Amino acid sequence: MRKQNIPNVNDDQILEKIVSAKQGSRNVRLSNIKGRVKEAYASYVVNSITLGVMEPAKLGKIQKNDMEHCYSSSTVGLSALKTAIKANHGILDRELCPYCSIREPSEFDHYLPKSKFQEFAVFSKNLIWTCHQCNHKKREHFSQTNRYLNTYYDVIPEAQFLFCRIGLPIESEGVSFYFKKPDGITLRQHQDIVSHAKKLNLLETYEHLAAQKLPIWLKKWQFLAEDCNKEELKSHLTLDMNAEIRGDLDKYGKNHYKYALKVSVLKSIDEIVETLYN
């Protein structure tokens, strides 16, 4: 979960380009509703932090199909829109999906689903560049309460809210991730974070990834334990883990599973070293 820059796109101009590329009666119908669509754009921005109150525009069935066609049919305007959104992202946003911060993004999610809110089918602020897995899980979901995070507008604090707990021995106790509300956000905002993670099975995914990494680390540390004493190993692992943590903090921030995992490992370093010599 990661906060993103709001797209710096002139959506009215993009809409004009897309509509102008349509032919015949579709062009006429879209031209007739352009004003209503632009009004919906303005309403979206006004209600950006309370999108749950949004109601779909009153469009006819054919008009709704026309607006969906604006996204499903390739045009110069649509290509320009997608390029502009991606260009507005930083390096990390191009590498990692903002919904999960694990996988590479590959497609756009319509935050307010285009099956219900066709007026936002080509609205940049409603298009979030995500991985296939997150987009597939979210699909057409829309709920005012049990909701996904909008990574452009919702509060996603920089303060740590994702934590990890390592049980020893790891083979039997394993690793778990959990959330804790940081200062500076409301209970509702924290509940939105938890809801988002639950719907995307993020904690389970983090635990699965950590369970793959930890045995590899332990095996490597076991080899090191054969060549040095406890204090030397502890010093080496502490320095190495601190360097890893600083690197992850700089790249991902405090709420990436790698950062939380390594912080937990560092806190458990004494117990881990003991297990390596027993």
Residues 99-119: tens digit of each pLDDT: 999 999 999 999 999 999 999
Give the confidence band of 144 by pLDDT, cuts at 50, 70, 90.
Answer: low
139 backbone φψ class: left, alpha, beta (φ>0; ψ -120 to 50): left
Residue 139: pLDDT over 90: no
Residue of higher predicted confidence among 146 and 185: 185
Residue 194: pLDDT over 70: yes
Amino acid at the residue 3 = K
SS3 sequence, 211-264?
Answer: HHHHHHHHHHHHHHHCCCCHHHHHHHHHHHHHHHHHHHHHHHCCCCHHHHHHHH
Give the confidence band of 126 by pLDDT, cuts at 50, 70, 90.
Answer: very high
Residue 169: pLDDT over 80: no
- CA-nearest of 43, 248, 222 to 125 is 43
* Section 199-227 average pLDDT: 92
Predicted pLDDT at 143: 65
Residue of higher predicted confidence among 124 and 169: 124
* Section 50-64 average pLDDT: 91
88 backbone φψ class: left, alpha, beta (φ>0; ψ -120 to 50): alpha
Range of weakest confidence among 14-18, 45-49, 166-170, 212-216? 166-170
Predicted pLDDT at 146: 61
Separation between Cα atoms, residue 160 and residue 117, nearest integer Å: 34
Predicted pLDDT at 38: 96
DSSP secondary structure letter of residue 110: E
Domain map (residue ranges) of the chain: 11-138, 162-277
Residue 239: pLDDT over 90: yes
Predicted pLDDT at 167: 84
Residues 30-55 have pLDDT tens digits of 999 999 999 999 999 999 988 888 89
Range of weakest confidence among 69-83, 212-226, 253-267? 212-226
* Section 14-36 average pLDDT: 96
* Section 166-187 average pLDDT: 87
